[in-house]
A = this chain, B = another copy of it.
Amino acid sequence: MTIPDQTVDESSDAVLLARRHRLLGRSAPLFYDTPLHIVSARDVWMYDAQGRAYLDAYNNVPVVGHCHPRVVTAIADQATRLNVHSRYLHETVLDYAERLTATFDAVLDMVILTCTGSEANDVALQIARQHTGGLGIVCTNQTYHGNTTAVRDLSTLFSDGESRSPLVRPVTFPNAYRPLRGLSGQALVDAHIEEIVEQIGAFKAASVKFAGMLACPIFANEGLPNVPEGYWPRVAQIVREAGGLLIFDEVQAGFGRTGHMWGQQRVGVVPDIVTLGKPMGNGYPIAGVVSRAELIEPFRDEVMYFNTFGATPVACAAALAVLDVIAGEALIDNARTTGQCLADGMRALQSRHPLIGDVRSQGLFLAVELVEDRETKAPAGRLAKLIVNDMKTRGVLISRVGQFDNILKIRPPLPFRPAHADHLLNTFDDCLTALKDAAR
């Protein structure tokens, strides 16, 4: 038996990290203090190079589970037959467009397929600006919508709540846990509406015509705040009265995540434009914009919009398989029921762990806000970081989010079952208990 020479292990994590720094740059984002070297994944589990299993409670892109055989087969079969742009007729593209639009309110009946959520949001901005003849966009002050030049202006999470563009004005996102001026109920809604009205007025004062508001209906990047009752209908009314369009970014909220197909169905407001992305093809790149013909047709006319990879038979075959699996495996029901188990369990932990300041949930999306003190609500960002890394070491993958980076983000693939929820909760309990012991 020969012993392999281990002096230079070309696939060691240190070697990979050095190559990565050299080829992609030191600032190419990586998760965890010690990055994970993931080599395979299936359902809600990911496996590293040493064969260690991690319960994935973070990734929303593999919405029907990592490497779902039905989606993989759809991709492989179609890639073997035809993978080409949409300037030829193809049934699969139309089948998908039909199935997709059927999941929305009847007025949202036309689609532009793109490749990424950033592109979808960029297109939505172009449509709103063309339709209104305005340029001014209202967004929230701790958000992220993507990375094109135009969409970056809306990504206020990386700029302390400010926008770098005179065409974008941020407003405070609604947050019942840390409410604006300590208000609650109707008064809190009024205060938020007032801010939007003020920013629309500020556009007018600066001679920038108002084009609309773009936001995530569940404020996923803001940390899934509890939104005061009546907020969204009032916002929709105010935005439209001012001549603007309401754009919902459903990139994170969509495809069953919240226990509804779309976040807008949860909040009970039909927007003018919807943007879609990440989970749409379970990892195969596809994204899109859904709206009405009166908005989409003039845009297509003017811009001759075309996206080479946006509506290929392969992308649509993958996306169709995703819709099939969501329905066939009743994943929206599961998001609701398992999400409830997870939320209940987390609230039980909250009663024993004072670090847990607030637990918010919408289907299989949990935000667990950590605070140093429940009275002052001082954000426990440093501890959140420690916990995310410790949970990884314990084999459970979560992340954190929000203005103070103190909100644990739990957003697993939708085939996450009650047993997985128990595993996560037990691991989290162990992690918090160990933390307490260490602090003694």
Interface residues of A (CB under 8 A from B): 11, 13, 16-17, 19-20, 22-31, 35-41, 46, 59, 61-62, 66-67, 69, 71-72, 75-76, 79-91, 93-94, 97-98, 101, 109-113, 115-119, 122-123, 125-126, 147-150, 152, 158, 277-278, 282-285, 293, 296-297, 300-301, 303-309, 311-312, 314-315
**Chain B min CB distance to A318 (Å):** 9
Q: A41 to chain B: closest CB distance in Å?
A: 5
| Interface majority SS (helix, strand, loop, mixed), chain A | mixed
Chain B positions within 8 Å of A67 at CB level: 79-83
> Residue A40 contacts which of B82, B98, B115, B306 (CB distance < 8 angstroms)?
B82
Taking A37-B90, A97-B23, A125-B149 as contacts, is the C-beta distance between A283 and B314 under 8 angstroms? Answer: yes
A62-B111 Cα distance, complex, nearest whole Å: 25
CA distance A315 to B283 in the complex (A): 10
Bound-state Cα–Cα, A118 to B147, Å: 12
Apart from A66-B82, A284-B314, 10 more pairs, CB < 8 Å: A13-B89, A20-B93, A23-B110, A24-B93, A35-B89, A38-B84, A40-B81, A41-B81, A125-B149, A150-B150
Contacts of A296 in B (CB 8 A): 25
Please name the 10 residue pairs, one residue from A and one from B, whose CB atoms are nearest each other, closest first. Answer: A149-B150, A27-B300, A83-B283, A76-B76, A285-B309, A23-B97, A37-B89, A285-B285, A38-B88, A148-B148
Closest beta carbon of chain B to A98's beta carbon, Å: 6
The complex places the Cα of A38 from the Cα of B242 at a distance, in Å, of 46
* Cβ contacts under 8 Å, A35 to chain B: 88-89
Min CB–CB distance A89 → chain B (angstroms): 4
Nearest CB of chain B from residue A151's CB, rounded to whole Å: 8
Task: Pick from A29, A89, A97, A148 the residue with the most CB of B within 10 Å.
Answer: A89
A285 shortest CB reach to chain B, Å: 4
Q: List 12 A-B contacts (CB under 8 A).
A: A27-B297, A29-B86, A37-B90, A41-B82, A59-B84, A61-B84, A66-B84, A67-B81, A72-B76, A116-B308, A122-B149, A148-B150
By a CB distance below 8 angstroms, the chain B residues around A23 are: 94, 97-98, 101, 109-111
Chain B: CB-nearest residue to A79 = B72
Question: Which residues of chain B come closer than 8 Å to A148, judged between CB atoms?
Answer: 119, 122, 148-150
A147: nearest chain-B partner, CB-CB:
B305
Bound CA–CA A86/B37 (angstroms): 10
- Residues from chain B with a CB closer than 8 A to the CB of A93 are 20, 24
> Which residues of B are found within 8 Å of A117, using beta-carbon distances?
308
Identify the closest chain B residue to A81 (Cβ): B40
Q: Are A38 and B98 in contact (CB under 8 A)?
A: no
